[in-house]
A and B are shown apart, each in its own frame.
Chain A
Amino acid sequence: MEKISEREFNPQLSVIITTIGQFQGLNQGLFDKIFFGNPFCPTGKDNPAYNPQILRQACSGLTFKDKLILNMPVCPLEDELLGITKILDTAREEGIPGVSVSSYGMAAWIRRDYPELKIYFDSFSNVYSLKDAELFRELGSDAGLLAYEAGLDECESIMKESGLEIIIPVFGRFPIAFSRYCFFYPGRLPQECSNQCNDDYRLSFSGSSEVLQKGRALYSAKRLSMFGHLPLLLSKGLFSFRIEGWIMPVSEINKTADSLRQMLGGAFNNHAYKELFEISTYSLCNGFLFAARGEEYIR
């Protein structure tokens, strides 16, 4: 097995986007992998994770087809499996290289019935330990995200001991929970969806100032920004980073990716740093990596 430390340093940059609108404006050349689709929202009309037509539309506009990773629905119900089969068939027909899953059962299924699709495990797969990661590797995966709560030491040791590519979220919206319920229209039909969750709704708990943003049946917390810690992450041997582009304007994603690319290319220049910090001027969170609360920014 090839050890990560023996590889030539080749930083990887990926992004997660959820809608066809974001996809159309994305500068695809900046990314090594594009995670596409909202795994949490079964009713959104423009969601490729649940709609094969949207997936086909995206594939027709893709310059670099080998970069697309389709996000599979999280915790699908038994009734939804037929729809997911159609999505997977479409992915196979379109030659999409991989899918991102959030459970072992889905991974085992895709491994068995769609062996040509590469499997990535997502943060909601709850990979907390080396043994969890090894189980995913047995299921055919060689890259993915650990649970958000995993510390930096765990990320480092799991990456080194398992040989897996551990992807670290470095910028964007940080989804901290998701729900089967739509908070806007409980029990509604997909055709009734008015994408109301895309509006600027905010939720604060009484007696405290914490604010969470609601959107797409998940809570996207405050902005995540790990730019200040990039040198530390790189020194630990971590080399794969992801921009969490949930409900982010695509122009912002492109700008961030551009600056990040410069930094990862070895150009730790002041200009790139300055640009990144201008983008992330508020609400920094990355505490989980340092055994603190997620919203805390560790300096």
Chain B
Amino acid sequence: MFPRVKLEAPANNLYSAKVAIKNGADMIYAGIKGWSVRPNIFEMEKEEFEAVIKLVKKHNKEILLVMNCFYGSKELDKALKLIEEMSGKGLSGVIVSQPALAREIKTKFKGLTVHISVQSSASNSKELEFYKSLGIDGVVFARNTIESNPENIQRLSNYGVKIGVFIVGDDIANYDGKCYLSSYLNHKLINDGTERYSCAIGSANKSGYCFLMCKRKCRLLKDGKIQGDGYYLRRQDLALFNKTKELVSSGVSILKIQGREWPVPLVARLVRYMRLALDSLEDEAKYQKAINQLSKLVRIKQQIQANHLWLLSKSKFRIWLALRKHLQRPWDNLETLLWLYAPFFEKMRWRKFQKENLILN
């Protein structure tokens, strides 16, 4: 008998929240423009977020507000004000990265659940002990550490803090929240019209406008001589859904799907098949079917992302974002079309990507 775990899905607008709930998500996480580790285009206006709260509450699910940037001294009070406002509207909880902010929330808003973001790169029991002392409810473990040793989770799950892991998502070469690769090359402060003090373009930590330098093609030189061109900093994507049974039985409480920046139809299918996998843990045939579907989806996700990156490399990032902002709904439709046709091109394109050494290992 497997214990019950929660499936946490992303939403970047009301429509995607609806779709995620319809497909079986237990929790929805979403950000308000300017306040989470994603560009504004993948976040919502306050009014839309309030509508999402209503929708989620109507379905007896949970809604978490993502506040996982690293805020400066001037921004923390504004962040707390925003949380207070949303708390009054029925918010279930908050995802944060800064322990100092987490402690403030726990002190001031006792009814709110507080989860520590993957941005904190928690990777061991000492971190859990510390977060437990602050009264934190859940910790999402670092993306590039937990996979190697899932048996440790069993021990870690006894610390009284819920453990969350990303089961589908990008894997990055560097630690979440501890990388200045993008901001070193691109950092720029702008006023983006949100309530925050300023928006740090290029910074993954301060505003989530990361230029994903680690996913770009680069050239390796040794003593000035070219060794080769390739995606040297890119890692294989996370596919922990293959280990769903082990994770669930060892005590993981939250299974999280990345994807506020991914097309809605893709996230919808990921949620649907993950739900199927969780509901059929005792039924091997159904479980395997779901896992196979998820594997296929992750491949297609890589292709979509590769196209997205290709577009990013061909256009100015901000122009691209502005275009997406104004064409959001048509773009969702276009991506749905691409999604439908993607399987026809899958084999051909997959071979090409492999040839280009897109995925290491």
A interface residue numbers (CB < 8 A to B): 74-81, 102-109, 124, 126, 128-132, 134-135, 147-151, 154, 157-158, 174, 176-181, 183, 186, 199-207, 210-212, 219, 221, 285, 287-288, 291-295
Contact = CB atoms under 8 A, between A and B. Distances in A.
Contacts of A128: 70-72, 98, 205-206
A90 B131 CA distance: 27
Interface string B150-165: 0010011000000000
B232 A183 contact: yes
B219 interface: yes
Interface string B118-143: 00111111111111010000000010
A128 B72 CA distance: 5
B103 to A, nearest CB: 7
B221 A181 contact: no
A200 B180 contact: no
Given A76-B124, A128-B98, A179-B175, A207 B223 contact: no
A148 B185 CA distance: 13
A298 B142 CA distance: 35
Interface stretch (B186-194, B319-327, B330-338): B186-194
A132 B305 CA distance: 35
A108 B98 CA distance: 15
Given A103-B127, A106-B126, A177-B181, A154 B187 contact: no
26 contacts: A75-B121, A76-B123, A77-B145, A77-B149, A77-B152, A78-B149, A79-B149, A126-B70, A126-B177, A132-B99, A134-B100, A149-B205, A151-B72, A157-B73, A177-B178, A177-B180, A178-B174, A178-B175, A180-B175, A201-B221, A201-B222, A203-B218, A203-B220, A203-B221, A205-B219, A287-B187
For the complex, would chain A's binding face be called helix, strand, loop or mixed by DSSP majority?
mixed
B269 interface: no
B144 interface: yes
A88 B189 CA distance: 41
B123 A78 contact: yes
A207 to B, nearest CB: 7
B354 interface: no
A104 B173 CA distance: 23
Contact of B72 (A129, A135, A219): A129
B361 to A, nearest CB: 7
Contacts of B70: 126, 128-129, 147, 149
A210 B205 contact: no
For the complex, would chain B's binding face be called helix, strand, loop or mixed by DSSP majority?
mixed
Contact-size category for B: 35 or more
A205 B175 contact: no
B101 interface: yes
A76 B104 CA distance: 27
Contacts of B202: 293
Nearest to B360: A186
Which of A107, A183, A201, A294 has most chain B Cβ within 10 Å?
Answer: A294
A206 B125 contact: no
B220 A181 contact: no
B311 interface: no
